[in-house]
Amino acid sequence: MIKVMIVEDDPMVAALNEKYVQQMEGFHLCCTAPNTDRALDELKQTDIDLILLDVYMPGMNGLEFLKKLREQAQDIDVILITAASDINQIQQAMRLGAVDYLIKPFEFDRFQKALTEYRTNHHTLKQSDTISQHELDQLLQKKSAQQVEHQLPKDLPKGLTKNTLTRIHEVIMKRKDDAFKTDEIAEDTDISRVSIRKYLKFLTDIGYLDETLVYGVGRPIYQYHLNPTQQQNIDRYL
């Protein structure tokens, strides 16, 4: 059973998170703290595996609290659940080892996904003292996908349109797992190579595509293929 503590100063939000945790199999809510001082007191008395942590709270904020945990070498995982959507704060949380970051308001499905993936990873790492390369790659790919998701821009870059992106996306999907080049997509869509390059760069930036520089005769050529772990990143732009 994964032991959980909620650190949240808003009683209504804390109650909602508590309700969500209770719906998740394999998790046990040990305690709820209205601030980080109380959380530190609780940690002296209770063994905790996972903290669901708010950022904006009176006194020490959530990021300062997370930093303190790391300085103390506390063997505890943290998922941020907060209205703080500033990219610098998100990056700081990830550098401090947060395993996920949920931005309020969110649906139960997103909460469920975060805890389900955490439970899977937790059990995988607890099963033995060693792990295979394949298992490790799977864990790292999931974490990378989460980090990219948190950093996605809200809108398309200036000069890019939804209709054109949809057209390019449809062509790419027909290729499935096959690698492709800029010229090939330009030919299939009847869109200029310069424009296609801008869209492919955007799709690479959001993690939807992987980009490889291929060396041969003449100048190097960029080659692309779908990143199977992050294909959902394009959904918000279509």
| Residue 10 neighbours by CB under 8 Å, 6+ apart | 54
pLDDT of residue 92 exceeding 60: yes
CB 145 within 8 A of CB 117: no
199 — pLDDT class (breaks 50, 70, 90): very high
pLDDT of residue 36 exceeding 60: yes
HEC assignment per residue over the chain: CEEEEEECCCHHHHHHHHHHHHCCCCEEEEEEECCHHHHHHHHHHCCCCEEEECCCCCCCCHHHHHHHHHHCCCCCEEEEEECCCCHHHHHHHHHCCCCEEEECCCCHHHHHHHHHHHHHHHHHHHCCCCCCHHHHHHHHHHHHHHHHHHCCCCCCCCCCCHHHHHHHHHHHHHHCCCCEEHHHHHHHHCCCHHHHHHHHHHHHHCCCEEEEEECCCCCCEEEEEECCCCHHHHHHHC
At residue 205, the pLDDT reads: 81
pLDDT of residue 216 exceeding 70: no
Of 94 and 37, the structure prediction assigns the larger pLDDT to: 37
β-sheet bridge partners, residue 103: 82
Encode pLDDT of 7-32 as tens digits.
999 999 999 999 999 999 999 999 99
pLDDT of residue 140 exceeding 60: no
At residue 215, the pLDDT reads: 63
pLDDT of residue 102 exceeding 70: yes
β-sheet bridge partners, residue 63: none
Encode pLDDT of 50-84 as tens digits.
999 999 888 899 999 999 998 888 889 999 988 87
At residue 180, the pLDDT reads: 92
Domains of the chain, first to last: 2-150 (3.40.50.2300), 162-237 (1.10.10.10)
At residue 184, the pLDDT reads: 94
CB 47 within 8 A of CB 2: no
At residue 210, the pLDDT reads: 81
At residue 138, the pLDDT reads: 57
186 — pLDDT class (breaks 50, 70, 90): very high
CB 199 within 8 A of CB 165: yes
